[in-house]
Amino acid sequence: MDCQKIIDRVYAEVKAGENLGQVAAYIPELSKIDPDRFGICLTSIDGRQYRAGDAEEPFSIQSIAKVLSLSLAFACIGEPIWKRVDVEPSGTAFNSLLQLESENGIPRNPLINAGAIVVCDILCGYFREPKKELINFIRRAANQPDIDYAADIAASEKSTGYRNFALINYLKSFGNIHNDIDQVIDLYFNLCSIKMNCVELSHTFLFLANNGVQLESGETLLDSSRTKRINAIMQTCGFYDEAGEFAYRVGLPGKSGVGGGITAILPNEYAIAVWSPRLNKKGNSYRGMKFLERFTTETESSIF
């Protein structure tokens, strides 16, 4: 199978089609993005890469980074993490407060905003310098020492992050935030600010396609059992209230972000990153969803 040829063809077909949706303008810095950018990179577990379009243009990965903070927290404390956050699909918007009342402050899963805030609280309780430890973990996964938080994006998110402030205070009222609110929410906003390009992002997520092992260093970032569980959570919860649609159309574990990125993995084969900033009504990249649906159909490379 000529992977580059397939990527080039599908990329051209999707780019020639309509590009619906809007950028995430509620975060001021994200409103400045060129809405017609479009990039792809696939990295295989034997180190080969296939690219198309704006694959080397950095963008804010936003909620995609929640998988990485979850991986670190799960590696650190193991199964007790699930006493603080559940593993069920939410069926509601990523920033919803609805379920916290009826479920006693336990977020439905760690990839919605409330769940990711609890994961940040776990990291704040485990590490003396959680921001430093988290970015170091991400750099090791990426094999890229220059990846960092983007202060301008973090500040932009904080300036309009009223719902996230509401979430953390509501979680605190149920006793599910153990550390200082300001420290936890600062870690959360910085987590979501991280910038990568498609090449870096696909490479970063490759450990989840490789039984938790980083390709170049051979470091086990996450044991194989926990890797399986992270992938399962991505499959069922990675796209908020569109997770079922993504599973139906694409058939890979993955995670989206409102910066327009999507990353997905095929266990024991590859990780792929797609970026196109226009979002559909569920907050997922319009072109990214279309590209991945066509790509997995043509390559017959879903998990199903």
The DSSP bridge partners found for residue 220 are 213
Is 188 part of the annotated catalytic residue set?
Answer: yes
Q: What are phi and psi of 64, to 5 degrees?
A: -55, -35
Q: Which of 11, 50, 149, 240 is catalytic?
A: 240
For residue 82, give every residue at least 6 positions away whose Cβ sits within 8 Å of its Cβ, in sequence order, or none.
Answer: none
Q: Which of 14, 50, 60, 63 is catalytic?
A: 63
Q: Which of 50, 149, 188, 270 is catalytic?
A: 188
Cβ-contact 203, 271 below 8 angstroms: yes
Query: Is 162 annotated as ligand-binding?
Result: no
Query: Is 143 annotated as ligand-binding?
Result: no
Q: CB pairs under 8 A, 24+ apart, for 43-49? A: 43/199, 43/202, 43/203, 43/206, 43/270, 43/271, 43/272, 44/269, 44/270, 45/206, 45/209, 45/210, 45/215, 45/268, 45/269, 45/270, 47/215, 48/3, 49/199, 49/202, 49/203
Q: Which of 44, 66, 118, 195 is catalytic?
A: 66
Query: Is 113 annotated as ligand-binding?
Result: yes
Report how far residue 114's alpha carbon sits from residue 240's, in angstroms, rounded to the nearest whole number: 12
Is 270 part of the annotated catalytic residue set?
Answer: no
Query: Is 240 annotated as ligand-binding?
Result: yes
Q: Which of 195, 187, 207, 220 is nearest to 142 (CA)?
A: 207
A 10 A CB-CB count for 220 gives 15
Query: Is 188 annotated as ligand-binding?
Result: yes
Query: Is 10 annotated as ligand-binding?
Result: no
Q: Which two tokens stand for residue 39?
A: 């990039």
Is 63 part of the annotated catalytic residue set?
Answer: yes
Cβ-contact 280, 286 below 8 angstroms: yes
Is 66 part of the annotated catalytic residue set?
Answer: yes
Q: Which of 85, 118, 258, 274 is catalytic?
A: 258
Is 281 part of the annotated catalytic residue set?
Answer: no
Report how far residue 215's alpha carbon sits from residue 85's, in angstroms, rounded to the nearest whole number: 30
Query: Is 157 annotated as ligand-binding?
Result: yes
Q: Which residues does the annotation place in the binding site?
A: 63, 113, 157, 164, 188, 240, 258
Q: Which residues does the annotation place in the binding site for substrate?
A: 63, 113, 157, 164, 188, 240, 258
Catalytic residues: 63, 66, 188, 240, 258
